[in-house]
Structure 1
Amino acid sequence: MNRRAFLAGTATAGAGALAGCLDAFDSGGSVPEPVALTGGKFDDDHGMEIGPHGGANAQIFYKSETPSEREEGPFWFHTLVFSGFPFYFEHDNRGWEMDVFYVTDYSNVDWTIQERDSGSAMPSPMATETFGDATEMTYVGGSDVMGGMGPGLHPFSKESDAKAFADDYGGETVVFDDIDRGFVENLREK
């Protein structure tokens, strides 16, 4: 093969690879970033204000669906047990295609257990940097520490943090794929 044929072949292959990369980027290859849930935002499932109830928050971006009152952005939730995961299950069954599911990442938060009339509760951080990918978390369910509206499901990006939390406050550690309707229903009954 002569030099000219080699260079022409290389240029064609490079252009094809670049076009493939650009197509992936243009077709939504990037994942949306989480948004801050500050400023008096209300849960898209039950309409309750995010923040005052304590516990982990969630936000779910879908490829083709947005909340009716907003032109873009995620659906957001003030509790995982009573809103975030039930909403996810329901809409997964409807065939909604998820871009990303974010939850509070307590491994990335300097948290302190809050004492409330209803018992001990986790705080409710709402800043952008306090969220992580729900599918990569280790969760503690069934602990003595409440979340928003009652029983908590506390997410940690570091498995060791989740295990330490469970050792201190009870409960069991699970990963995203272990959480189904039955698991969430059992938490609700506690």
Structure 2
Amino acid sequence: MVVPPETEADLDRRTVLTAVGGGLVVGLAGCTGGGDDLPAAVTLDESQSCDQCGMVIQEHPGPTGQVFFEDHPDRDGPAWFCSGTCTYTYRSDRVAEDATPIVTYLTDYSEVDYTVEGDDQPAISAHLAAENYEVESALSVVANSEVIGSMGPDLIPFSDEADAESFAEEYGGEVLAATDVDRELVDSIKS
């Protein structure tokens, strides 16, 4: 079979269609929340102190968090936190001061082999490697369980809602979308 040579018109049409198609893909990725352009979570293992309370993060149990802002006043990279409650408290305070969060990451307990230790106040293990974090919008949290983190009662995040439900069945608490956590809930957990 002989394929006729392409004409300039065919090449121009193909170039235009490729450019338009590529533009649509990029535009749709932005509309659907494609996270390829989000800054990546970092590992918290260099004696970083919590930006909310000042505690050294790696010295304590429980979920941790990171928030990237458009303009972070203290450093390039995220603000980092020793707990979910510190993450939400700090972000809420900064937003009230007109800061703009780009992305919030929390420990994803669906993706780690965690332990819960202690009888009177069971504490959940910390997992500080970058790959142990997930974007807040992909997480469910267990609020008001008997399990504590570094600051006492905390929000325990899971990317698999079934894991969150199972955790709540074993340790109490209620499951909700991480994006539904507001300052009122965080303040009630801390008190």
TM-score relative to the length of structure 1: 0.83
Work out whether residues 67 and 74 of structure 1, in 8 Å CA contact, stay in contact via their aligned partners in 2.
no
The SS at the match of 1:96 is: coil
Give me the whole-angstrom Cα distance separating, in 1, the residues matched to 2:26 and 2:162: 39
Deviation at 1:169, TM superposition (A): 0.5
1:14 corresponds in structure 2 to 18
Deviations 1:157-178 (A, max 9, x none): 1101100000000011110232
Residue aligning to 2:187: 185
Q: Is the 8 A contact 1:44 1:67 kept in 2?
A: no
Contact (CA 8 Å) 1:115, 1:121: kept in 2 or not? Answer: yes
2: distance between equivalents of 1:57 and 1:6?
55
Map 1:1-190 → 2, pairs under 5 A: 3-15=7-19, 30-62=37-69, 64-68=70-74, 70=75, 72-81=76-85, 83-115=86-118, 119-189=121-191
CA–CA distance in 2 between the matches of 1:79 and 1:44?
Answer: 11
Shift >6 Å, 4+ stretches: 19-25
How many angstroms apart in 1 are the aligned matches of 2:23 and 2:148? 50
Instruction: Tell me how far apart the structure 1 counterparts of residues 148 and 12 of structure 2 sit (CA, whole Å).
Output: 65
Gaps of 5+ in 2: 1-5
Segments of structure 1 that go 5 or more residues without pairing to the other structure are: none
Provide the C-alpha distance between the structure 1 equivalents of 2:19 and 2:137, rounded to a whole number of angstroms. Answer: 35
Structure (1/2) with the larger strand percentage = 1
Q: In terms of Rg, which structure is larger?
A: 2
TM-aligned CA distance change 1:107 to 1:19, over 3 Å: closer
CA offset digits 1:140-170 (Å, max 9, x no partner): 0111111111111100011011000000000
Residues 157 and 178 of structure 2 are in contact (CA less than 8 Å); yes or no, is this contact kept in structure 1?
A: no
Residue 139 of structure 1: SS of its match in structure 2?
strand
TM-score, normalising length: structure 2: 0.83
Give the % identical residues.
32
State the alpha-carbon separation in 2 of the partners of residues 15 and 142 from structure 1. 51
Q: For residue 3 of structure 2, what is the aligned residue in structure 1? A: none
Shift of 1:42: 0.8
What secondary structure is seen at the aligned counterpart in 1 of 2:89?
A: helix
Output the amino acid matched with 1:43. Answer: C
- Tell me if the contact between 2:65 and 2:84 (Cα under 8 Å) persists in the aligned partners: yes
Distance 2:109 2:43 in 1: 16
